Amino acid sequence: MHGFNYGDPHVLRGRFNTPGRFGRMYPWLRSLRSFRPGPEELGKVGGPMDGGNPPPSDTTQNNPRMKAGYTFLGQFVDHDLTLDTTSILERQVDVNGTTNFRTPALELDSVYGLGPAVQPYLYDQQKPGNLLIAADGNDLQRNSQGRAVIGDPRNDENILVSQLHLLFIKFHNKVYDTEFADMPHGKARFEAAQTFVRWHYQWLVMNEFLPRLVGRNLTAATVAAPPFLFDTEHAYMPIEFSVAAYRFGHSQVRPGYALGQNRGAALFPGDPDAPFGNFDLRGFRPVPPELLVDWAFFPGATPTAPAGKTADTLISNVLPKLPTGLVPKDEPNRHRSLASRNLQRGIDMCLPSGQTLACHLGIPPLTEAEIWTSNGAAVGSGPAPLWFYCLREGEVRTGGARLDGVGAEIVARTLVALMLKDKASYMVQEPGFVPNLGSGGRFTMTDLVNYTLGSAVPSEDLAALPGDD
């Protein structure tokens, strides 16, 4: 273990064989029960992970591989795969008793829900086969209190992800109306359109989004010879992925976003207790006309698209002070830090340290100085929490352009394994599947936007992405 023996109890953790569960990729690894500094100190306002609010002229945190839209695509994918309603801080969690209320599959159940027969209120009764949206076409359908009526309410927690959810609804509706117009309305047509949409979405995730996250070479190698496959009857959601590695996206959130050429807003207000206003991007309300998102402005090849933030340990200063609505008002102020919450969650779920997992995977671990030095000063020592370690790997080894090492391996292995365990995925049903939409045998987020909205944004050459492996 390259000297990483910190005296933590060696507790074996079991896997699961029932659907809708969380589990462990490497249950035999010892867990990290504490680290220095602790979650509150590391993630506090003004602490080592507080990345401040750089002015727009400061490009040092711009990500060369991902425009800002991909941050929210990552959030959308996360909500499609996993939902744990028991995220209570400061207690050890029994993973065996934790339910994943999303299926661990890239199947858009956050959009489709349980289908038109079980959840007809998600569907347009006047347009058979279509999902329901607001009458003006610019927002999700909402109840009398302004809350979105959708398959996963988390896709209403900020305006960018709610508008992205709307985009995927419109994508399905156009596919149903256009690509399958020669079929009569009914179950067969709906299921054909649904499969078409799901496979294009899966293709996008596996062939564009994942290579952006971990590099083209690692993606290809993992697909060709998967180093991790579920040895249970059903897939589960690995907590190494959901609680640590895939939370890289939290580090990519910016304090505010341009929504088009001439409009934008802060993600959250400066005062976390401030009432809703037009000019912040908090969700759970009808989208003001001024804050409608122009998705043709976000794809990777759009020269003027806002840059995504680097994947590193510097968290935008809006996240150490989450607003009321995302964190209950009666919780202590220390629980308003998203970074501290993530770090505490890793302890509660008994995750191994980053160094322990690196050694197990045969990846040279980061040095003590690489992990714990910030602005030339030591900010900690010893074993590092897995989420922090994955972020530091990307920061040290790729300049924050993408995940590397442990983080990249966990994300790639999980997504490939989930696809191969899903009997309805294109990788199982039709391994040679080529997208019908897009161009040149590929389908990207840019292609989805162009098809759905009728725009003509040029596609980005993924082979030319900087910072690839």
Point out the least confidently predicted range of 234-248, 311-325, 408-422.
311-325
Residues 44 and 127 sit within 8 Å (Cβ to Cβ): no
Model confidence at 1, pLDDT cuts 50, 70, 90, reads: very low
The answer to whether residue 454 scores a pLDDT higher than 90 is yes
- High-pLDDT (> 70) share of the chain, %: 91
- Tell me what the mean pLDDT of segment 213-231 comes to: 97
DSSP 65-93: EEETHHHHHHHHHHHHH---TT--SSS--
- Write down the pLDDT at residue 461: 86
Residues 202 and 419 sit within 8 Å (Cβ to Cβ): yes
Model confidence at 9, pLDDT cuts 50, 70, 90, reads: very low
H or E stretch covering 373: strand 373-374
Enter the DSSP assignment of 440: T
54 cis-preceded (ω within 30 degrees of 0)? no
- Write down the pLDDT at residue 386: 98
Q: How many CA within 13 A on the CB side of residue 332?
A: 9
pLDDT in tens, 114-158: 999 999 999 999 999 999 999 999 999 999 999 999 999 999 999
Residue 360 makes CB contacts below 8 A (sequence gap 6+) with 26, 29, 352
pLDDT in tens, 323-339: 877 777 677 766 789 99
- Write down the pLDDT at residue 90: 35
pLDDT in tens, 75-122: 999 999 987 544 433 333 444 444 444 589 999 999 999 999 999 999
* 251 phi, psi to nearest 5 deg: -80, -10
Helix axes 405-421, 354-361, angle to 10 degrees: 70
- Write down the pLDDT at residue 20: 57
The answer to whether residue 281 scores a pLDDT higher than 90 is yes
- Write down the pLDDT at residue 84: 59
Nearest to 48 by CA among 294, 339, 466, 437: 339
Residue 436 makes CB contacts below 8 A (sequence gap 6+) with 179, 196, 200
Model confidence at 302, pLDDT cuts 50, 70, 90, reads: confident
Rounded to the nearest integer, the mean pLDDT of the chain is 89
Question: What is the spatial distance between Cα 219 and Cα 413, in angstroms, rounded to a whole number?
Answer: 9
- Write down the pLDDT at residue 102: 59
Question: What is the spatial distance between Cα 219 and Cα 408, in angstroms, rounded to a whole number?
Answer: 9
Q: What is the CA radius of gyration of the chain?
A: 21
- Write down the pLDDT at residue 282: 92
- Write down the pLDDT at residue 424: 96
Q: Which domains does the chain have, with CATH numbers?
A: 22-464 (1.10.640.10)
| Alpha helix stretches (DSSP H) within 232-318 | 239
Q: Are strands 377-378 and 373-374 parallel, antiparallel or unpaired?
A: antiparallel
Point out the least confidently predicted range of 2-11, 293-302, 373-382.
2-11
> Comparing 435 with 330, which gets the higher pLDDT?
435
Nearest to 446 by CA among 295, 260, 264: 295
* 325 phi, psi to nearest 5 deg: 110, -40
- Write down the pLDDT at residue 2: 36
> Comparing 466 with 205, which gets the higher pLDDT?
205
- Write down the pLDDT at residue 237: 94
Q: Are strands 373-374 and 307-309 parallel, antiparallel or unpaired?
A: unpaired
> Comparing 269 with 181, which gets the higher pLDDT?
181
> Comparing 92 with 320, which gets the higher pLDDT?
320
* 99 phi, psi to nearest 5 deg: -100, 135
